[in-house]
Structure 1
């Protein structure tokens, strides 16, 4: 009895074609690896090795392991019986020498950068004396703070307690109240003496710390001359009302254990260490896309692509085979960095969509560029834009809805030992996956002889790439929906960049920018279809194309309403870009939900009519459609406010 595959010839044929496609893709990948390896010279290997060394040093240093770059960079002359001797010994930045070994040369030179005299005064020598003096004062502060933390009588060591209660920002201009206000943290008279290490005056009355009313004499600090900041804050961070959000990963910069420390050490939550480590995932991508773009450009300039085009392999198989080695290389780099910085699987999963979009955008750019000079401009533009898009939102990790638009935030969260839900991962990475798919799709559209080896201007190539995907009215709606990720990413970036701008200026700008991005996305392929004679340039056809494009955008836009689950519409700038949150009266909610269909159809028809006439008419009608769209958005926001 034959098996199911033998009984189904169609299935057997599909399996055979799939195996053949995989075999051809793997063969092209092997060719790409062997060809690329043969073009790497000794200088390139040295540059790559130097880059890997720098990334490794930065990663290890930022991870807190330390590489000893600042160990014993200063020399301090201090006697062993001095109360400052323990400070010098415990500080990694100083190498202590006995005061008897001090040698002062002519002028201001000595074999020590800082000298602690026997009466407690500080002296500085040489070009590094000022920096060494400041570093020694900081070392005294750290030493004293450590002694205070070890004090059994916590009240004596820290007579002032400050409780930090982070409140959610109220975008109506008022601050929500709650918890204890920490405004009194700097007005206490407890323990604010300035010892000799800070002023160099040798005033032993303040050095003993006895002039501060609540400083306490039981702390036993050897260098008690500097008791600046003997207060303590009992900081707590409230993550809000429990909505879908990235956990609070800030506060790693100044306070003890992230939440407790003297008022002088309080700083705004900012995940500097994790953000720096997360940025290491992006750095190698900027170099890999240079090599990837060059190999695609070689296929065109040196006409090597002709041999592949006449081979049995399809265009998708060729592109997949040439891209796969670089993608696997970036995944391997991400895994290596994750292991080095002690991250988790989430870091690798978040780095993959970023790598895909870098490669996809580079592929599309390499297919459009006419020369290596243009390719350099394109790759640099891609690097700057995508790096900005991934990095800037992650800076606002404590502003959860904003930070989530970047997958780099997921890496930061993972490095902090926190977890994220599946919904958060999809929200953060889906625009990257979809945008990468569209870039590859458009690039494959011009991966043909009439476009690869033709010296057309960049705008003409863009129109060719878009027009290659138009095959009727249905394709217009589909292509409009495929542009949604770019619209979504552009609007999210606008919200992130204008988040800190005053509301009176940010809201109008976001409304206009969001409307302009949407109108271009709804009409650029319609314009390409008319320019490349895919459609008849008539009023009726333009109206039908406008209806198809507007309807396709409406359907695709509703798929992006996942933003409702992360609270973006609760931000004023978020509501300006994506519309307000639907709540309250069901009829009003239904009207607000369906009204965009009419809006998108009307504005798309306006742009389509201009696109059917000329380039100038198209530009003017896009501006008109943008104004109509912006007025609509203002009206909806005012209606539901």
Structure 2
């Protein structure tokens, strides 16, 4: 009889184990659904129904359909033969009434908010009269604008046409010449302050440099024609020969620039996707409520010791956590699908909402495993809700302005709702940190999903160290865990850049340099410290040096993956270069500094922190501080070298 293993038998065994794991996970998920459904009372049902109603009303209104909440809120008295009668009829905010039915009482009150007298004068009465007056003026403007748009001769309707091209932000008060435009400036000022980001260009075809002070230009021509291109076509392609003349849209593997805005002067407004942003936020609102229920069910397993029965069952810890999480994840996906259908979004909106939901659940699971009481759990869930909501929402505000916006998957939803396309590289860049961070949170939470941690009243820092130390088994695990922390480092640095990119560079750059260095040093040293505190490693100088080398090398390898930011334009921002390093296209010296010198830096700083960690908490604090200062000094030197 042969001693060789049968490959078919091994495959059948693996399939049986997989089917068994899936069956156990599905059974735990069914138990979780039945148990949660049994704890829902009438008050909870009413709250959920009210929440669904609010989300539906906001979404329906923001989608442009509206519920008519402002229909006919004002009354206007106007004769049918008045030229303003059509304005009142077509405006949804006004209900017209004949002027003969107007009744004025005490000189200040009337049965109409706005009155159009027969000689064409506009008067208002009552407490809402002033607001109605302003609304009617806006209605007149909208009426005239609509009629002008219907004119066959648009040149006569709009003698002045403005075209805006958004360019790179320039803090020194001078704008870079735009080689793609054959037009020149006549040197005139349109009243915009220097450094404000706008300027005027006249298309006289004489050539020369742009005189705009802030980096964006207005091409103004008369007769409804626009100019400003080398070919005289009057259309701008949004790109230039140098590749950095205009602010580029976050892009991986594709090219494009922020689209210019053109039209009559009155129609030009700053780029702000208010409607799409409001609709995108609807995807995040339900997550804040679902994590409350999810965190409570995890806490019940600990406080009421219900998890003790599952721990002694044949199901593994991963199967238990997966089974308890699956119903809530599927529920959030179902909500995302429903909202997508309601706001007429696409599959991209659902695909972008999934990583956000996963991170919400993963962070809540880790927090519920660390909290000692429902009071602490409330604090944890509120903190998670506020931080993740801020992280996803604030960058998306700049979806039409700055490449920083792509750090949030919510930007993908905004883009999708605006009818624009997104490349695969952009999706990966935006969602990969969320997927990886969710995986790490679940991994650390599962590490303390055991009897000695679930039912013990340990302090929060002690449980954090337990969760981290549970994943340390060898020198290689130190390097692996360092690489797993890269998504948190990436997210933290991106958030710092997003918060400080609008701050003056003289203040923003030093802060970003120090913050970026501190975040990286935490990721390289906290698990080493946990290993020493939990006696996973001998507290000797040699072991500390080896652990530092492993951690630094692991961080270097993981950091190279994040260099995808080089392809989305972040290093073109000064604060982006301070966080992630300069653009490596500057020559061999820059290439060496970006890809090789960091290896030495990460190893040295990790060794410094590791030696301090091996000597206790106070020494670890000192070592961490020294490592951060060394790291920050290196970053500052590199930026000064390539500047």
Report the TM-score range of the alignment, normalised by the length of the smaller protein: 0.7 to 0.9
CA contact (8 A) 1:351 1:408 kept: yes
Say whether 1:355 aligns with 2:360.
no
Compute the displacement of 1:343 (Å): 0.7
Say whether 1:549 aligns with 2:551.
yes
Evaluate the alpha carbon distance shift between residue 471 and residue 400 of structure 1 in structure 2; reply closer, same or farther with a 3 A threshold. same
Q: How many residues align?
A: 589
Match of 2:314 among 312, 315, 335: 312
Compute the displacement of 1:154 (Å): 3.2
CA contact (8 A) 1:406 1:429 kept: yes
TM-score by length of 2: 0.88
Question: What pairs up with 1:417-432 in 2 under 5 angstroms?
Answer: 417-432=419-434
Evaluate the alpha carbon distance shift between residue 168 and residue 182 of structure 1 in structure 2; reply closer, same or farther with a 3 A threshold. farther
CA contact (8 A) 2:250 2:404 kept: no
Whole-angstrom distance in 1 between the partners of 2:187 and 2:44: 57
Compute the displacement of 1:99 (Å): 0.8
Compute the displacement of 1:156 (Å): 3.4
Whole-angstrom distance in 2 between the partners of 1:233 and 1:321: 64
Whole-angstrom distance in 1 between the partners of 2:348 and 2:371: 35
Unaligned runs of 5+ in 2: 192-221, 227-233
Question: What pairs up with 1:75-474 in 2 under 5 angstroms?
Answer: 75-106=75-106, 108-170=108-170, 173-178=173-178, 179=181, 239-240=238-239, 245=250, 259-474=261-476
Compute the displacement of 1:464 (Å): 0.6
Compute the displacement of 1:88 (Å): 0.3
Whole-angstrom distance in 2 between the partners of 1:107 and 1:29: 70
Whole-angstrom distance in 1 between the partners of 2:600 and 2:307: 46
1:234-262 superposed Cα distances (whole Å, 9 cap, x missing partner): 797764457673699989xxxxxx94543
Deviates more, 1:570-579 or 1:395-404: 395-404
CA contact (8 A) 2:371 2:380 kept: yes
Evaluate the alpha carbon distance shift between residue 476 and residue 71 of structure 1 in structure 2; reply closer, same or farther with a 3 A threshold. same
Say whether 1:23 aligns with 2:23.
yes
Deviates more, 1:74-83 or 1:147-156: 147-156
Whole-angstrom distance in 1 between the partners of 2:7 and 2:572: 58
**Partner SS, residue 530 of structure 1:** helix
Whole-angstrom distance in 2 between the partners of 1:514 and 1:7: 50
Deviates more, 1:395-404 or 1:85-94: 395-404
CA contact (8 A) 1:249 1:398 kept: no
Compute the displacement of 1:38 (Å): 0.8
1:476-527 superposed Cα distances (whole Å, 9 cap, x missing partner): 1110010000000000000111010001111111100000000011000011
Evaluate the alpha carbon distance shift between residue 588 and residue 75 of structure 1 in structure 2; reply closer, same or farther with a 3 A threshold. closer
Whole-angstrom distance in 2 between the partners of 1:66 and 1:250: 30
Whole-angstrom distance in 1 between the partners of 2:186 and 2:99: 45
CA contact (8 A) 2:271 2:401 kept: no
Compute the displacement of 1:534 (Å): 0.9
TM-score by length of 1: 0.88
The answer for the alignment partner of 1:608 in structure 2 is: 610
Say whether 1:633 aligns with 2:618.
no
Whole-angstrom distance in 1 between the partners of 2:305 and 2:225: 68
Compute the displacement of 1:418 (Å): 1.0
CA contact (8 A) 2:164 2:262 kept: no
Compute the displacement of 1:122 (Å): 1.5
1:248-302 superposed Cα distances (whole Å, 9 cap, x missing partner): 9989xxxxxx945432332111111111111111111111101000000010111
Alignment root-mean-square deviation, CA:
2.4
